[in-house]
Structures are given as structure tokens and as C-alpha cells.
Structure 1
Amino acid sequence: MRLSKNWLNEWIDLSAKSAEDICAALNEIGLEVDSCERIRVPSKVVVAKVLECREHENSDHLHVCKVDAGEILQIVCGAPNVAEGQMVACALEGAKIGELSIKKAKLRGVESCGMLCSAKELGLGELGKGIMILDESIGELEIGKELSSYPAFDDYLIEIELTPNRGDCLSVRGVARDLSAKFDLPIKDISPLKKSEDELLGIGRLISLHSEEEKNCALYYKVVNLGENFSLNLKKRLRLALIESKHKSAIEGALEYSTHSTGALFRAYDARKINPNENEKISLKIKNGEHKQSQIYAEDKLLGVAGICANKEFLADENTKIAIIEASYTAPEIIANATGEDKNMPKDEMVYRSSRGSEPAISSSMNLLFGSCFENCEWYGGSQQISMNVERANILVNCSAISKMIGMDIEKKEIHKILSRLNFEIASGTNDEQFYAKAPAYRHDIQNIADVCEEIVRIYGIDNIPAKPLNFCEANRNSQASLKHALARNLRQRAVDAGYFECVHYIFDDPSELETMGFKPCQAQMLNPITNELKELRPTLLNSLLNSALNNAKRGAKQIKLFEYGEVFDISGKQSSKLGFVSCGLSSLPSLKNGAKGTELSLFELANDIQKILGKISLKASENLEFLSPYEQAKIIQNGKVIGFLGRVKPSLKKDLPRCYVAQIDFDALKCEHILAEPYSSFPATSRDLSVLVSSELKYEQIKECIEALKVENLQSFYPTDLYSDKSLGDKKSLTISFSFQSNEKTLTDDEINALMQRILDVLKESLGMELR
């Protein structure tokens, strides 16, 4: 999008703003400035008048001109359009035009004291062949006055890079509206129509317009008599050259200028091409196409499709005398759907604007066109038009939500002010924190509160919002079911790594075998059991695992390690998840290392396996499970909570099984927690052994609780290493406990460790009656 500062100044008063201020503001509000170039005519180029013009005696194309440039000069000129009485741009002696320095010279024997310039030579773009003819559109012409003192010849050309949603800024008016909101300046009231339409011939005598179908576009028609020599003034032609217009006729140039200025879409049709009969009215009809596009017909002739294309056969050109001017607006989604679904539909350059959103205020835009480009023409009074309501989203704006999105608190008053400057229609909401807002009709891209928030940030200024570090506050999207699944998969993999094979059994079990193990039947009975042996919802995983282990033993397996993860049901039918383990036979198979008979399995080997799988655990003696040996069963404790049990199966339960140990873990009691890294000491650890005499009735658990209650500083761990008894000790036993000490701050001295050991011994003596051996 190209525009100039002076062009902007016609819509909004920017006289107090520099080009740098304007470019900075455009960048702040999201209209990225691609370039800003000063367009200025060189010094010593002045307004001059051609007093006389005659043919050069020694040339068939040169002219000898007598020019008044504040002084009378003789200038030889080769332009084909130079003529007596013209006001022209004259470069005086000493002026520098590009790389050319102007000085006195003789051209084919005739002295020339300056140069009559074309617009291209002055860096103003291409205006046609020949020199540039000045007129009053640039201001009052004073002979001898430098051109650079006129605003039209000392301007800034600004090029903006627009995103596809900002079709409203594909015009000078659109950019001025945004700058108006940024600078808090009013848009100027431009009302160029000065002719009284009561004195004009009514447009209804020439054309009529009607539509019998749903109105999918707005149309506005006026008719102008261009006459014989319609042309645009210099200021408009200069601006068209700056935006690199490719128009072929003056009428095309007028429409392109007005579209670029107002944002509205214009077309011009030749009335005589549509109907050569001057006395016959032209009847225009609107019909809807397959994709809701509005087709304009004159009787059975298709003139065009609003916002998409036009029939070139009927378009106005340089020979047109009576032109029907059309202004249209079609919702951009209709344009996009129609052109996207029908790839073969004819399209022209207008689609670029209409698909991004053109200006809906076509009536005022038409008046601006007639008042600025056709001010010297005759036109028919009145208009023919079809109106439509542009749908606008009614957005509920919550001030707290806006502040949260922006990252800082913005008062409701400030939000109101910014939206009002952006021409939003504001209505009260249900409370003080919220209100309803409707975007202006030309902002079709604003549909929700996020769009409104973006508009507020644009105008408030993103540089005025304090920077904050990015806060990763994404909520954990894992559900309890997914976390449970991940933990189960991890534990099953660990069990396999520990040498166990996974089993999968039915959730039904044999009620007689369960009764033998001491489990009560579930109150929820199966109506259609698979078999009589599988008609009870299982309360434990262990019976099925023991049966599988028995089958393996009957086939000669010497070492059996099985596990299962599955669901069980209590007496009331409540479902829970469990992990079951069975370890039978030998701990290690016969080999050169283990001997000819191998190694017998023990309770603590199964406990060690469980610890590999679940992490650190502790055991506490238990006697309440009927199917386990009362001498080899224990509760499994983790983080101070009972999570299961383990023990040796009574030989009488499964008579054909070798030595067998089982464990069952309450899976729902396990916690899926991240491991927290703790600092480790860089100083050496020191160990001490304490051998004491203890009562045969005393349990190690009591000793452990007594030592833990002391909370001895720098004590890392302790555990029993030896238990000895003989007749000489009577009813007492010798227990050796190994202690490990380590500090995070220093190397502990022998004296410090001895003091800690003495403290432990004193408490054991006092609390449990233990003696040093």
C-alpha cells in the first residue's frame, strides 16, 4: 500500500507530525512501514509561463520558447506538447536535475538558457510524453516561485506492508482512521459535492435498478456526462504516478484514484455501449449466482459480478461520453467462497481488494468521487441504489480477561476510550467489569474478544506494556487414568527386568480354592459363569498365580518367577488394582558357581526383588494371613504406609509346589512421583560397628524406632550385620549394628563420631536395657 504524507493530510491533520513520527506510529499499530522516501523537486526549478513558442529553424522537432521565469529567458525545448500560454516547470541555470547540471548552451546554433522539465525528469513518475503542465490543483501558481515550496512537490512517499486481514487499510482513508485513533485526532469532514441536484436531470430517466432476490451486496449508481475532453488535474495524476497506476484512460484513472483514496470499489460502464438508444431507459437487474455472488444484468446482458469481474465489452474508455458509475460492496467471505469454489470464474484486479474487505460506506465514497474528480462535469441528479446491512459481531468484552491477555491491568475507562477512537459501537454489559462492543462495518476481521484485545494493544502501544519473562504455566494434561497406566507399564517392565514372567488370567476364580485360602466370596454373583470352577469374581491375584506356578513345576521347572497386574474385587464388589508375585523353587539354578544343588529361595530374596521393582521398602512382621506361614510373612511398608504383604505359602495349600513365596501389592496405594535430586556430600563417609547384648524377646524393630527417634546429626544409615547367641550369653543375644556417618560440610573427626556413638549407646541402655558387649 503506497500513500504520501500530504495525501494523508487531506483526511487527518498531520501538519504537526514529522514523517518519522508517522512511520513510527504506523509500525506501532501494526501497519509495517516497508519504506519511506522523500519526494522533492530540486532547487532552482521554478514556475514559468511560455510566452511564445516557435519552430526551430534547423530542426524538425525542437521549439524555441520565450519563457517568463521571473526573468525572460530563451529556452530550446524538444517536448511535443509545449505550447504558448502554458504554465510549466523551468530549471534555471545552476539547477541539478539528476546527474545533469543546467547551464547555458547552444542547440543547433540557438542559445538556450534553461530547461523545461517533464515529471519523470524531476523524479515524480511518468505522466505521459512531454513536459509537465502545471495547474492550480497544486496551489496558486506564481511565476518564479520554486516548485519545492509547493506541498505536492515536497512530500514523503510511504509504503506499507499489510497483512491479508487489513483490507480496510488498502486506502488512504483506512490508514488515516488508524492514525486518527493512535494520535487521537479527528478525521476531517470532507464534503466535496457542491452542485444542487434539484437543478439536474434525474437519473431515473436514464437507468433503473431493482432486485427480486436476497440482497448479498450493496450497490450505488450515479451517471456523469464526461464531455469531450475529460481529464484529471495535475495533483491527481502525480499521485497516480507515485502509486504506479497503470490506467489507460482518464476515467479509469479517476476511479483508481478514488478507490485508493476511499477504499470503495468503483466501475464505470459506457451507457451507449449498453444501449445505443439515447431515449430508452437502461434497466439493471441483480441476480444471485450459484455461490451467492451478485450478478448485474442489463436486460439479458451480463455487465459484471460485484467485487469479482466486469464485462470488458461494456466498460467505459477514453471515448465514453455518458458513464454509469457503480460503487459496490460485497462481504469478503462471499467473494472468497465464490472464487475459491469455482476456479474457472473470471476474475480481475478488483478481487484483491474485495476478498480482503472493501469500504462499505459506498454512498459517501461516491460523493467524494464526484466532488473531487467530476467537479467540472455535468451529472444526473439522484442515484439508484440497493442497500444491505453489514453483519457485525456483538462481542462481550470482559475487562479482567483483557488485562489478563495483555499481561497488565488496563482500566475500563481506557479500554472504552481506545475502542471509541477505533469507531466501535459500545453498549453496557451485565456488570461493571464487562460491556458489549460492535466493530465498525469495515473491520470484518474482528469476531471475538482476542481480536478486540489486539486492537487495544495496537493503540495502547506494545512498548508501553512492561516486559515479563515467559511463564510456562501449562496445566498437566495427564489424567489419573493415563498416569495409572504409565506407572503400571513402568512397574511391569521392571518386574520383567528382575527375571519375572508376566501372566494374564481371568478375573474369575474357583470359590472352593479361595475358601481354602481364607478369602470370603464376593456378594456380586455371576448369572452366567464360564464354568463351575470360574464363577467367582477374584478377591486376589495369588490363587491364579499359584496354579500357574504349579503347572510349571509339574513340567519340571526348577525356578519359577511369575507376576500379574490386574483387577480384584472385595466382598462388596468394589474393584481395585493389584500387583501379584510368585517365586518358587530355587533362588539360583545349579552351576559351577552355585554348586550341584543350587541355592534355596528365601523370604528376603523375594523382598529384594520387590524392592528392585517398587523402590525402597521396609518389612514389618505379620501373622494375620491364613494361607501364609506364621513365621515367614510380613507387611510391606513404603513411605510409612502399608502397601501390601509377602510371605511363604503353607506347604499344605499347594502340596506339589516346592518352597514358594508370594507377594501382593495394592497398586492404588502406590504414588507416581518424580524423583527429586538431592545434593550429595563431597566429604568421606565413616562407619562404626556397635555390638550390644540384647534380650532374646526384644525385636529389632524396637531398636530401629529408638535410634530413629534420636534424629542423630550426620547419621546416614544403620542396619544389623550380625546376630550371635550361645550358652555363655544366657537368655541374651549379641547384636552387631553398623552405622554410617557423613557430613555435607566437613570431614567428621574421630572425636565427633565417638561422641555420636556414645549418645546412641546411652539411649539404648536407658530405653531398652541394652549393654555393650
Structure 2
Amino acid sequence: MIVTRRWLEEWIDLEGISTEEICRKLNSIGLEVDSVRSVEIPSRIVVGHVISCEKHPDADKLSVCMVDIGSATRQIVCGARNVREGLYVPVATVGAVMPDGMNIKHAKLRGVESDGMICSSTELGLPALGKGILELDDSIGELEPGRELSEYPLLCDDIIEIELTANRGDCLSIHGVARELAVGFNRSLKPLDFDEDFADKIGIGRILQCLHVGTPDVSMVCYAFDINSLEVPLLIKLRLAFIDQEYDLPLDAYMDYAIHTSGVILRSYGFSKISEGNEKAKLTLKEIECGLTAVEYDGKRASIVGVNQSEEVKADDSEKRVVIEASYVSPDIVAPAVKKLKLKTDPLYYRTSRGSEPDLKFGVLVLFSLLKRYADISIYAGESEYFTEREPVTVNISISEIDSLIGQDVEISEVVTILSKLGFEIHKTEDGRIVADIPSFRHDISNKQDVAEEIVRIIGIDNIVSKPLKFTEANRMSESLRRHRFLRDMRMRAVAAGFFESVHYIFCDNKRVKELGFETLREDRSLLNPISAEMDGLRPNLMINMLDSLKRNVSMSKKRAALFEIGAVFDAERNETMQALFVFCGEREPDSVVNAGKPGMMDLPSFASRLSAVIGSFELRKTENPDALMHPYQCADMVKDGRKIGTLAKLHPKVADRFDLPDTFFAQLDIASLEPGEKKAEGISQLTPIYRDLSIVIPQSTPYSAIRAALEGHLPAVVENFYPIDRYVDESLGEDMSLTLRFVIVPRERALEESEINGVMEEILERLQKRCDARLR
């Protein structure tokens, strides 16, 4: 869409507003400016009046003109064919510099003196306006010989090209863009200055009758006028050239100018062509396929409203009586229909498919105002019209909804003012709600979000305070989902560590339960209708059924079996808990070249290490009450983050012999204790950790748990961790043993001096001496 500043000023007062400010405002209200260029006439180019024009004595194609330039009369040799006596023309006087850089000097052409140059439009830096010199007229202002052309504002203009989105058909006109600027600059639109007295005019009903068949979904109004004389003024030629609009006939120029000004779809019909020799013409609106409407005359199709027009009925230069049709059809009808029917369209379809101006009489009056100003016509009184009543689209929105969509609070009075200026008809503003009708020319607005967008456009996106994106999502993390993800991840880690999942029934044989030393269900809690005699109870321990799987693997000559199961177990009261069981029997690794085909058997430390790959690090502590499945001397409680999570043990030799199993190790874990709680982040020191070893001599009867209990909670703050790295027994030590502990010292704020490190170690040794009867080795 191309507009010019001077053209806009016919509809809005832009005094005090620069073209740069206009472009900024257009951008801020969502009409993106693609380009801007200024047209300026150089100085020393003036209005000239050709007093006389004679043939050059020595050149057939040259004329010798005497031109009045106000201050003097100059003789100028001109080669244009259209130069003639009485014309007003642009004259570049001696000393002028043309837009292309050419200097105008006194010259002699074929022996005749020439004092200046009569210019064409392109020589002035204007678009091409036909062949020959530029003919000036009073459409650009009163012509005064000698007056600088640069003083005529209608010639010197700023041309602004706007990149419109497809849904903004309301801005495909000068009036539409001016309407937007009026809201943006808080200024009023100028009314159309046209008033015609039809008192003594012939009524249109004498020459034209418009009919309709059914109820076509269009609106149309027809006017008529007689042409006495019709010339296209310079202003219309120039502005149509600015917008790259070509035309063939003078009437086409007026029509194109009026369409671009108003946005209304206008078509002209030659009266003699649609009347076919009759005194009265008849036009009939008739609905056709896909909701489209055709205009017919005498059974022939003249046009399809909003789509195309037959060339046979258009008014031409020979036509002295013209019928003007102004029409409107919804883009929601015409665009899909044209695509479906693959109809041939004319240039006006671009406007109708995006939404043309529905105020039809406004477009016709713009045309008549131009014709009455620059041409000689006689308008017939009245009009013939057909209008489809359209219910206005009403929007009901609260100020809180607007604030939420925009992202900041806006006063309801400001919203009402903006919407009113945009053409909304406000019905109610009660209880913080606004009820308004959307203007008929805004085809792109249909819901609350569109209304909020309009308010943001006018307030200005730069005036909306930037805020980080914030939204509150419902907490969808349930306890069941959290546990499912935890168990899923545990299964994946178990598989990665070489374990295979084995799934068993929760039912078991009560006889085996008793034999293995576990308590069965209480009689009043027992199963009433068991599946079979071997499944008459609920398992109290996952190993009850896992033993059968291990036996089957060994019976099939499997040298190693690493299995795990996650499932429910039940106590005598039938209370259910979730446990995980990991078991490993046989060789600790597959036979290979690395171990010469003789891999070692699984042992307790190796099993504990493999298990840590699944559940992370843990501690082993003495088990106080081992059950009948556990080896009495190779069993331990598993402790993680200070709480017991399960037990780890070697299978009792008697049970292993009963099921013909090799050395077997298992770990039973309580899922509830194993699930991680909230993790508290701790700071990380940027200083290098310091490792110090401490070798002490203690009685062999001292368990490591006693050493841990003596130190935990009583270490200096800089000691982050400690663990045993060596145990040594020798005859020279008698009933004592040597134990080496490694301490990890992590300074927090600064590097420690060696004396400070020694002080830390001395403090640790002193506590071990007091609590564990230890001495330095």
C-alpha cells in the first residue's frame, strides 16, 4: 500500500508532524513502513507561460517558444511535440542544476538562441507522465509565472510504502491509513467536502432499474451521470504515477483515484452497452455458485460482485452516460469461492478478498467530488440500491481480561476512548465490563484477543512494560507418578549393571514360608480361595519365590545368574510394602581371555560394589537380627544418608544346599526408605582437597561402627569425609590390629597452613584415643 503525505493531509491535519514521525507512528500501530522517499523539485525551476510557439527555421522537430517566467520573457528552443501556445510549463532557468546533475546554460540550437529548458516530468525527478513536456494546471495550485515549482507542496511530496498483512484490508486506502493515524496522533478525520443540489436534476429511476432475485449476500448501490467533458488533471496523473497505477481512459483514472482514496470497490458501465438501445437499463442481482452474486443485464452477465467485470460493458471514451456501481461482498464469501471455482479475477479482487470498505456511498461521493472539481458532468438525482443487513459483531470483555492479555493495567476510560476512536460502538461500560460492536470495516477483529491487540497497537508496544514470561502450571506430579519414575530409573540402572528382571506371583506356598523361618498370614487374614495348594499365602519376602528362579538357571548350566525383582510383600497382618530384591550367584564375570577362562566366584565386596551402581553409595553395618536366609557371619544392614534401607547378605549355606545353589548373595531393599527426599544443595569449595592418612592401633574386637560413631558429628568443620583404607594384623600386635583411616580435608575460605592441618589430625587422634582406646602406630 502506497500513500503520500499530501494525499493523507486531505483527510487528517498533520501540521507539526514530520514525515519521520508519521513513519514511526505507522510502525508502532502495526502498519510496517517498507520504504520512504521524498520528491523535491530543484531550485531555479519555475512556472512558465508559453506566449508564442513557432517552428524553428532550420529544424522540423524544434519549436521556438517565447515563455513568460514572471521576471522576464525568455526565448527557449523546445523539441517536444506537445508544446504549444497558452501552456503552463516547468522551465529550468539558466544556472539550474537538474536532478541528474545537468547544468542549464545559455545555448544556441541550430543558430537560434535558447535561454533555459522546458522540462518533462522525468527531467524534474517525477514519474513519467506521458510523452513530451509536463503540462501544468491549477490542480496543483494557482499557476504564477516565475514561481518556483518547489513552492508547490502538491508536487513536492513524501511517498510512503506500507507493508500490510493480508488481514488489514481496511488500510488499503488513503482514508483507511488516515483513520489509523487519526487514532495514533489523537486527531480528528476531516469530513468529505461535497454537496450537490439535486433539486432540478433528473432522477436515476428514469434511466436505470436495479432488481434482485432471492436474497444475494452482497450490498450494491448504483448512480449515473452524463459526461460533458472529461480531462485528467495533473494532480491525479501524478498521484496515480506515485502509486504505480496505470490507466487507459480518463474515466479509469478518476475511478482508480477514488478507489485508492476511499477503499470502496467501484465499477463503471457504459449506459448504451447495458441498455442495448432502450431508454432504460435494467441490472439484476442474482445469486450463483458458492454464495457469489452476478450482475446481469438482459440475461447477460455484466460482472461477478467483487470478482471480475466483463470488458464488453465497461464505459469507454465514446460513452457520454455512465452508470457507477459501488459494491461490497464479505471476503469470507468471495475468497473461498474464487479458489474453489478457479474463477478469473480482475485487479479489484485483491481488495475484496482482503476486505473492502463497506461504506459504499462514501466511495461514490469521493468520485463525484473529483469529477465536479476537475470535469464537467451532470449527476442524476438519487440512487438505486440493494443492501444486505448485517448484524454487527459484538464483543463483551472485562477490563481484567484486557489487563491479563496485555500484561499491565489499563484504565477502563482509556480503553473506551481507544475503542471509540477505532470505530467501535460502545453500548455499556458497567461493572468493569465493556460491550461494544466491532466496526464493519474491520474484518480482522472477531474475539477478545483481537480487541486487546488493538489496544496494544494504539498504546504502543514500546509503552508496554517488559516483564518476564510468567505462568503457573498445576502440579501434576503425584506420589504415584513420582514412585513410577523412581522405579523405572532403578530398573534401567539395574539392567545396565548386568541384572535381569524376574517377575513372580505375589502368592506363595505357606509351607515353604514356615520352613524358611518366616511368619505366614494370620488365620483371619488368610486367603479364602487360593489358586492352588502351592499358592495359599502371600509372600513375606521376595526371596521365597526367587529361589526357584535361581535353581532353574543353575539347573540349565548357567554359570552365573544376576536377577532382580521389584514387588509387594506382606506381613502377618496383610500390610503391604514395596521391596526390591537383587541376587547374584555363581561366577562374578563371564569367562574370557582377561581371566584366562577361569573367572572368580562372586563375593560379598564385589556384590556390594555392583549394587552401588544401581542405588548409589551406601554403608554396611552389623545386622542385629539376621533371618533364616542370611549367612550369620556374612550379613549387614545397608545404610544410606543415615537411615537403614535394607539388608545385604550371603545366602545361608543350608538354604543354598537345599536348592543346589553355589555361593549366592542377595540384597533386600525397602522402596519407601530408598526413595530420595528433597535434596539440599551445598556449596563447593574452590580450594584443592587435602588427603591425610592416620594409622592407629586398636583392639581387634573393636568394630568399625564404634570408630565411626566416635568420629561422626565430632569432626572439625573442614573434614568432609573419612574412610578406612588398610587393616593389618601381625603377631607382634598380639590381640590388637593396625587400621589406617584416610581423611578428606576441604578448606572453605582459604588455604590451610601445615600447622593447621596437623592440628586437625591431632584433634581426631585425641578423640579416638579417648573413645576407642586407640594409639598412634
Regarding TM over 0.5, the answer is: yes
Equivalent of 2:119 in 117, 120, 125: 117
Give 1:751 deviation, angstroms: 4.1
Give 1:114 deviation, angstroms: 3.8
Give 1:604 deviation, angstroms: 3.9
Identify which range, 485-494 or 86-95, moves more after superposition. 485-494
Partner of 2:182 in structure 1?
A: 180
Partner of 1:496 in structure 2?
A: 495
Structure 1: which 5+ residue stretches go unaligned? none
Partner of 1:583 in structure 2?
A: 584
SS at match of 2:562: strand
Letter in 2 for 1:686: Y
Give 1:718 deviation, angstroms: 2.2
Give 1:287 deviation, angstroms: 0.6
Q: Is the 8 A contact 1:398 1:435 kept in 2?
A: yes
Paired residues in the alignment total: 762
SS at match of 1:545: helix
Letter in 1 for 2:611: I
Equivalent of 2:154 in 152, 155, 160: 152
SS at match of 2:35: strand
SS at match of 1:607: helix
Structure 2: which 5+ residue stretches go unaligned? none
Letter in 2 for 1:24: R
Letter in 2 for 1:381: A
Q: Is the 8 A contact 2:219 2:328 kept in 1?
A: yes
Partner of 1:345 in structure 2?
A: 343
Letter in 1 for 2:440: A
Letter in 1 for 2:232: L
Letter in 2 for 1:279: E
Letter in 2 for 1:683: T
Identify which range, 251-260 or 16-25, moves more after superposition. 16-25
Give 1:248 deviation, angstroms: 0.8
SS at match of 1:153: coil
Alignment of 1:594-743 (within 5 A): 599-620=600-621, 621=623, 623=625, 627-629=629-631, 632-653=634-655, 655-656=658-659, 657-667=661-671, 669-671=674-676, 679=684, 682-683=687-688, 685-689=690-694, 691=696, 693=698, 700-701=704-705, 703-720=707-724, 736=739, 738-743=741-746
Give 1:249 deviation, angstroms: 0.9
Partner of 1:326 in structure 2?
A: 325
- The separation in 1 between residues aligned to 2:571 and 2:696, in whole angstroms, is 47
Partner of 1:141 in structure 2?
A: 143
| Normalised TM-score (structure 2) | 0.85
Partner of 1:440 in structure 2?
A: 439
| Structure 1 position 460 matched with structure 2 position 459 | yes
- The separation in 1 between residues aligned to 2:573 and 2:324, in whole angstroms, is 86
Letter in 1 for 2:92: A
Deviation per residue, 1:79-108 (Å, 9 max, x gap): 333444333333333334445444444445
| Structure-2 change in CA distance of 1:753 and 1:265 (3 Å) | same
Give 1:713 deviation, angstroms: 1.6
- The separation in 1 between residues aligned to 2:503 and 2:49, in whole angstroms, is 109
Partner of 1:263 in structure 2?
A: 263
- The separation in 2 between residues aligned to 1:349 and 1:569, in whole angstroms, is 83
Give 1:403 deviation, angstroms: 5.4
Letter in 1 for 2:294: Q
Deviation per residue, 1:312-360 (Å, 9 max, x gap): 2222233332222222223323333223333x31122222222222222
Give 1:6 deviation, angstroms: 0.6
Partner of 1:278 in structure 2?
A: 278
SS at match of 1:663: strand
What is the identity percentage for the equivalent residue pairs of Structure 1 and Structure 2?
A: 34
Letter in 1 for 2:503: H
Identify which range, 609-618 or 641-650, moves more after superposition. 641-650
Deviation per residue, 1:707-755 (Å, 9 max, x gap): 222252221222345678999999x975736140423355545543444
SS at match of 1:178: helix
Identify which range, 657-666 or 422-431, moves more after superposition. 422-431
Letter in 2 for 1:387: F
Letter in 1 for 2:122: K
Partner of 2:130 in structure 1?
A: 128
Q: Is the 8 A contact 2:11 2:190 kept in 1?
A: yes
| Structure-2 change in CA distance of 1:18 and 1:725 (3 Å) | closer
Q: Is the 8 A contact 1:505 1:544 kept in 2?
A: no
SS at match of 1:709: coil
RMSD (CA atoms): 4.2
Letter in 1 for 2:641: N
Deviation per residue, 1:349-382 (Å, 9 max, x gap): 2222222222222222222222223554212222
SS at match of 2:251: helix
| Structure 1 position 368 matched with structure 2 position 366 | yes
- The separation in 1 between residues aligned to 2:84 and 2:594, in whole angstroms, is 121
| Structure-2 change in CA distance of 1:512 and 1:418 (3 Å) | same
- The separation in 2 between residues aligned to 1:692 and 1:392, in whole angstroms, is 97
- The separation in 1 between residues aligned to 2:761 and 2:564, in whole angstroms, is 43
| Normalised TM-score (structure 1) | 0.85
Equivalent of 1:162 in 161, 164, 173: 164
Partner of 2:352 in structure 1?
A: 354
Deviation per residue, 1:431-467 (Å, 9 max, x gap): 54x6455543333223445444443443333444566
SS at match of 2:170: helix
- The separation in 2 between residues aligned to 1:734 and 1:380, in whole angstroms, is 126
- The separation in 1 between residues aligned to 2:527 and 2:302, in whole angstroms, is 82
| Structure-2 change in CA distance of 1:374 and 1:570 (3 Å) | farther
Alignment of 1:479-518 (within 5 A): 487-488=486-487, 490-500=489-499, 502-505=500-503, 507=505, 509-512=507-510, 515-516=513-514, 518=518
| Structure-2 change in CA distance of 1:223 and 1:593 (3 Å) | closer
SS at match of 2:760: helix
